[in-house]
Amino acid sequence: MTRYIIIGAGAVGASLAAQFESQQIPYVLVGRGAQIEHITRHGLSYRRPGETRVVSLNAVDTTTPPTLTPDDVLVLTVKAQDVEAATDFWAWRDVEGGGLASELPLVTLQNGLAAEDIALRRFDRVYAASILVPARYTVTGEVVVGGTPNVGIVTLGRYPTGLDDTATAIVADLTKAGYLAEARADIRRWKAAKLTHNVTNVVELFAGTAEARTKAATELADETRAVLKAAGYDPAAPSERTVDISAWHVAEGSGIERGQQSTWQSFVRGTSSEVDYLNGEVVRLGRLHGVPVPLNAAFQQAAAKLSRDGGTPGSLDIADIRWSA
């Protein structure tokens, strides 16, 4: 029977473990620091629309990882900036009965376009996923997920392209666990489409009028679409989905607030952010393909300075960010 090794106990990883726990899908949640220590000792405070409950999870610290078996699937839920270290840590671990973890399936749940190429340096079977889970992790031991009636939306496929029985089985388990999930052979297109939204997360770090914030987000997304086209990407359209997501939404009063997505949460917790793998990815592609992306570059630099100087979200104004075409 498949067992999922969920690597990373943040909002995405801990909520996935809680959903698997509720459906008795075999898993182990592996994390580090105060978060995993709290979960192992006290359980996870898991807030969903209409209820908050403490869930006891099968969780261990990275310092004492589980013995791997040939039926395991590794699910990487760390942020994009941590993929290099995580894949290096896990790839060369022994598997019971012979072989290495690098031969096991690895699912990447990161935003951006970099995680899969990093993983392929060590793992033979990489399954990329584009995920939309409105979740918050800003307090140790607590995770809030506001999506309803399903937890979130997951699109998954073999990377760089294709489908197989493993992808289909993973999607089936995600569906059983409460996600709107579908398998796609063209997963790079869905990852690219998600990037056009993720590059706007950085706007949440800065104060400004609603008009200024909307204008910045629109222009960041426009730059991203232009550079993706130049790089040969054809981002998927929502109309191409094979699952009906029309009833899915973020519940009012769920604890999920507009303007507090993953990048904002990283700054609130004082941890590293994924801006270099979102806006920085656009900047990289722009340099490779000769497409100017001044706004993404300016916001990347502004976010880096905010982090460097120990700034908090809202302490700088969008009007102070300068860029030139």
pLDDT at 84 over 70: yes
Share of the chain above pLDDT 90, in %: 87
pLDDT at 185 over 70: yes
Phi, psi of 269 (to 5 degrees): -80, -10
* Whole-Å CA distances, 76 to 63, 190, 312: 17, 18, 28
Counting beta carbons within 10 angstroms of the beta carbon of residue 37, is it exposed (0 to 12), middle (13 to 18) or buried (19 or more)?
A: middle
Q: pLDDT category, 97, cuts 50, 70, 90?
A: very high
Q: What are the structural domain ranges in the chain? A: 3-186, 195-235+258-320
What is the Cα–Cα distance from 240 to 263, expressed in whole angstroms?
28
Which CATH entry fits the domain spanning 195-235+258-320: 3.40.50.720, 2.102.10.10, 1.10.1040.10, 3.30.980.10?
1.10.1040.10
Phi, psi of 35 (to 5 degrees): -65, -50
pLDDT at 325 over 60: no
Handedness of CA 289, 86, 183, 68 (dihedral sign): positive
Average pLDDT over residues 204-227: 94
By C-alpha distance, which of 40, 42, 22, 18 is closest to 31? 40
Half-sphere exposure of 24 (CA within 13 A, CB side): 0
Residue type, 321: I
Q: What is the pTM of this model?
A: 0.95
* Whole-Å CA distances, 232 to 105, 227, 294, 303: 27, 9, 20, 28
pLDDT given for residue 177 in this prediction: 98
Handedness of CA 139, 112, 80, 133 (dihedral sign): positive
- What are the b/e assignments for 132-168, b being 16+ CB within 10 Å? ebbbbbeeebbbbbbbbebbbbbbbbbbeeebeebbe
pLDDT given for residue 324 in this prediction: 54
Please count the other Cβ atoms lying within 10 Å of the Cβ belonging to residue 253: 8
Average pLDDT over residues 294-307: 94
Which of the two residues, 157 and 320, has the higher pLDDT score? 157
pLDDT given for residue 190 in this prediction: 98
pLDDT at 83 over 90: yes
Give 143's strand partners: 46
pLDDT given for residue 259 in this prediction: 64
Tell me the pLDDT tens digit for each residue of 112-155: 999 999 999 999 999 999 999 999 898 999 999 999 999 999 99
Residue type, 12: V
Q: Are 48 and 133 in contact (CB under 8 A)?
A: no
Strand (E) or helix (H) holding 51: strand 51-55
Whats the size of the chain, residue-wise?
325
What is the Cα–Cα distance from 172 to 202, expressed in whole angstroms?
33
Per-chain mean pLDDT for the chain: 95
Tell me the pLDDT tens digit for each residue of 3-33: 999 999 999 999 999 999 999 999 999 999 9
Q: Are 278 and 195 in contact (CB under 8 A)?
A: yes
Say yes or no: do domains 3-186 and 195-235+258-320 share a fold.
no
Q: pLDDT category, 258, cuts 50, 70, 90?
A: confident
By C-alpha distance, which of 76, 75, 67, 77 is closest to 99? 67
Q: Which CATH class is domain 3-186?
A: alpha beta
Tell me the pLDDT tens digit for each residue of 168-184: 999 999 999 999 999 99
Tell me the pLDDT tens digit for each residue of 51-71: 999 999 999 999 999 999 999
Share of the chain above pLDDT 70, in %: 99
Alpha carbon of residue 19 to chain centroid = 16
What is the Cα–Cα distance from 284 to 281, expressed in whole angstroms?
5
